[in-house]
Amino acid sequence: MALVQRTHLVRLTFRDDDQTESTCEVNLASGVDLDSALTFLAGWRSIIAALSSAVCVASDLLVRLAETHTAGAGLDSDVTRQGTFIFTTAAAGLAVVRVPSIESSRLESTGPYAGIRIDQSQAAVGALIDALTNGLAGVEPCGPFVSDLVTIDQAYKELF
Amino acid sequence: MSFTAKPVITVTYTFRDNDGKESTSEVLIPGATTAAAAVTFANALRLLIVALSDAVCITQNVILGYYENAIPTIPSSDIENKGVFLFNAANGLKSSIAVPSILEAVLQANNQDIDQTNSDVSAFIDAMTLGLSGTNPVNASGTDLTSMREAYKQNRRSHLSGRTRKG
């Protein structure tokens, strides 16, 4: 059981005059360095656009890992039970990160919010919050409007 | 009009529980992050998220996106008219690519087969089989595409939810 690198995926999105969209995809070997893959993406976009009467409106490079053996989920696992972490951002906004199938043991076990509020005193919980607010491997996560995540506001279990 | 990097890079992790249901966790990082740094970050963050979940993380994607910042008036077009290109791969398998709204100008007189002598078509075929900027496209299993097999127009209905179907 291991996450292994899949081929990189180059994806172009085209839109026609009815505003309907469709994608065109090509794989690149997983060993291709990412700068080369981005160079390929730009060149390939021009080549494909020359063959289409629709307009290319977006292009993406997906760097992908996939699990080779997908069994092994815990007996109590349930992806509809999610850990919701709400952060304040530097622009005074809010941003959410969710953890599917949050372990029940990560929730407070006593008090009025037992089984609901995520126990931020746990080391593993604190490590995730620290990574999202202070950065990890030199990268600072952000909200959808590129504003840094600053502090944790609330963390609790939600069912979807 | 030009392609511009999206302001954020999206990192996604898909989890599967013991009933086979799947759900995705998403984290955003600034678009100015280098691709290599984004992947390093994603690998490290995955370990922290996995530690809190009793489901299995089955995929991780780092999505580096670009968008057209000034979409022009779109000419008459139909993304369901695909240009289907079938390629032979070095492992003996076939691989296909569908170009949405293939130009009628690159079709042969029968309005179905794609004219492989057209310069734009041959540029595409060369890019697919010989590589582009030093990078060779591959099939889904990572094997080089070696030659063109056939190319034709095919109408395929669109199944994008919330959008108008045509055809």
pLDDT at B161: 46
Please tell me whether residues B9 and B60 are part of one structural domain.
yes
Most A-contacting residue of B9, B14, B16 (CB-CB within 10 A), to test interface: B16
Q: Is residue A133 part of a domain?
A: yes
Residues of chain A contacting B139 with CB distance shorter than 8 Å? 27
Name A131's Cβ contacts closer than 8 Å, sequence gap at least 6: A141, B44, B45, B48
Residue where one domain finishes, among candidates A34, A67, A100: A67
Q: Is B73 contained in some domain?
A: no
Specify if A73 maps to a domain: no
Give the mean model confidence (pLDDT) for residues A104-123: 97
- Same domain as B87, residue B63: no
Six-digit token string for B49:
């998220």
In a domain, residue B38? The reply is: yes
Q: Are A59 and A11 part of one and the same domain?
A: yes
Residue A76 lies inside a defined structural domain of this protein: no
Is there a domain that residue A72 lies in? no
A45 vs A32: CA distance, rounded Å: 18
Look-up of token digits 């997983």: A30
**Domain of residue A89, residue span:** 81-159
pLDDT of residue A158: 97
Q: Does residue B57 sit within a domain?
A: yes
For residues A13 and A63, state if they share a domain. yes
* Minimal Cβ distance to A55: which of B53, B72, B95: B72
Are residues A44 and A87 both part of a single domain? no
Using a CB-CB cut-off of 8 Å, the residues of chain B touching A26 are 97, 128, 137
Asked if residues B73 and A74 have their Cβ atoms less than 8 Å apart, the reply is no
Considering the domain boundaries, does residue A75 fall inside one? no
Report which secondary-structure segment, H or E, holds A39.
Answer: helix A34-49
CA dist A133 and A146 (Å) reads 13
Q: How far is A112 from chain B (nearest CA, A)?
A: 22
Task: Report the domain count for chain A.
Answer: 2
Q: Would you call A28 an interface residue with chain B, using a CB distance cutoff of 8 Å?
A: yes
Tell whether A85 and A55 lie within a shared domain. no
Q: Are residues B14 and B48 in the same domain?
A: yes
B13, two tokens: 């992790």
In this prediction, residue A1 carries a pLDDT of 72
In the prediction, which pLDDT does B159 show?
59
Q: Which of residues 64-123 of A touch B (CB under 8 A)?
A: 64-67, 70-80, 82-83, 95, 97-103, 106
Question: Considering the entire predicted model, what is its pTM?
Answer: 0.93
Structure confidence at residue A71 (pLDDT):
78
Cβ neighbours for A14, distance < 8 A, ≥ 6 positions apart: A21, A22, A23, A24, A52, A54, A55, A56, A57, B79, B100, B101
A61 and A111, same structural domain?
A: no
The pLDDT of residue A138 is above 80: yes
Residues B92 and B151 in one domain: yes
> Are both B90 and B56 inside the same structural domain?
no
In a domain? residue A87: yes
List residues bridging with A25 in a β-sheet: A11
Task: Tell me whether residues B53 and A22 touch, CB distance under 8 A.
Answer: no
- B7, B103, B141 member nearest A53 (Cβ): B103
Same domain? For A101 and A45 the reply is: no
Q: With an 8 Å Cβ cutoff, are B28 and A101 in contact?
A: no
* A57 found inside a domain: yes
A24 in contact with B, Cβ within 8 Å = yes
Distances, alpha carbon A51 to alpha carbons A70, A135, B12, B129, B132, in Å: 39, 43, 32, 17, 17
Among B25, B46, B68, residue at a domain's last position: B68
Q: Of A70-74, A84-88, A89-93, A100-104, give the lowest mean pLDDT range.
A: A70-74
Select from A39, A67, A95 the last residue of a domain: A67
Residue B73: DSSP 8-state: P
A128 touches chain B (CB under 8 A): yes
* A54: chain B residues, CB-CB within 8 Å: 74, 77-79, 100-101
Residue B150 to chain A, least CA–CA distance (Å): 16
> What is residue B104's DSSP assignment?
G
d(CA B33, CA A142): 11
Cβ proximity of B69 and B2 under 8 Å: yes
Contact residues on chain A for B41, CB-CB shorter than 8 A: 136-139
Same domain, yes or no: B89 and B131? yes
Spatial distance between the Cα atoms of A133 and B8, rounded to a whole number of angstroms: 16
Low-confidence ranges of chain B (pLDDT < 70): 158-167
Specify the number of domains making up chain B. Answer: 2
Confirm whether A115 is domain-assigned. Answer: yes
Place of tokens 């100015």: B32
Query: Which of B18, B35, B71 minimises the CB distance to A35?
Result: B35
Residues whose CB is less than 8 angstroms from the CB of residue A56 and which lie 6 or more positions away in sequence, other chains included: A12, A13, A14, A45, A48, A49, B68
Chain B residues lying within 8 Å of A60, measured CB to CB? 63-66
Judge whether B163 lies within some domain: no
Question: Does A44 contact B58 at a Cβ distance shorter than 8 Å?
Answer: no
Residue finishing a domain among B68, B98, B116 = B68
Q: Range of B115's domain?
A: 81-155
User: In this structure, are B118 and B85 located in the same domain?
Assistant: yes
Residues A9-17 have a mean pLDDT of 96
Which one of B68, B103, B125 terminates a domain? Answer: B68
Q: B11 to chain A nearest CA, in Å?
A: 10
Of the residues A4, A15, A25, A63, the best mutation for testing chain B's interface (the one with the most B CB atoms within 10 Å of its CB) is A63
In this structure, are residues B136 and B144 in contact, taking their beta carbons and an 8 Å threshold? yes
b/e A9-40 (16+ beta carbons within 10 angstroms → b)? bbbbbbbbbbebbbebebbbbbebebeebbbb
Residue A83 has pLDDT above 90, yes or no: yes
A40 and A94 housed in the same domain: no
Tokens of B116: 């492989």
